Amino acid sequence: MLLCKAFSTVQIVPWSLRGRWRTCMEICERIEFKYSHIFRKDNHYADKLAYLGLENKIQYEWYDTMSSKIALDVFHNRFQLPMFRVV
């Protein structure tokens, strides 16, 4: 919910992230997005990609095919295997 609000109100984004957020918003203006709620237990892909985004040193990364970094998660989901969250 906070992310959805950040798309319309930049003031809720922490000042330390605003430069990167504005760069992201410039890119996002060229893309049509639809967003909805996903229950936490089904949110493994988003969690993994967000983590990869935080550890990535470049500004953004575009995938034309599935990233090998989430392939195991996709496999687990496809065959309804358990996925555990380590906190």
Q: What is the pLDDT of residues 47-76, one digit of tens each?
A: 777 777 777 766 677 778 887 878 888 887
The reply to whether 28 and 47 lie within a common domain is no
Q: Are 31 and 67 members of one domain?
A: no
28 and 51 inside one domain: no
Same domain, 46 and 64: yes
- Output the pLDDT for position 42: 63
- Note whether 42 and 30 are same-domain residues: no
pLDDT of residue 3: 75
- Full domain range(s) for residue 44: 38-87
Q: Same structural domain for residues 44 and 78?
A: yes
Residues 28 and 67 in one domain: no
Length of the chain: 87
Distances (CA, A) of 8 to 11, 34, 77: 9, 14, 32
Whether 47 and 79 map to the same domain: the answer is: yes
CA nearest neighbour of 9 among 21, 35, 60, 50: 21
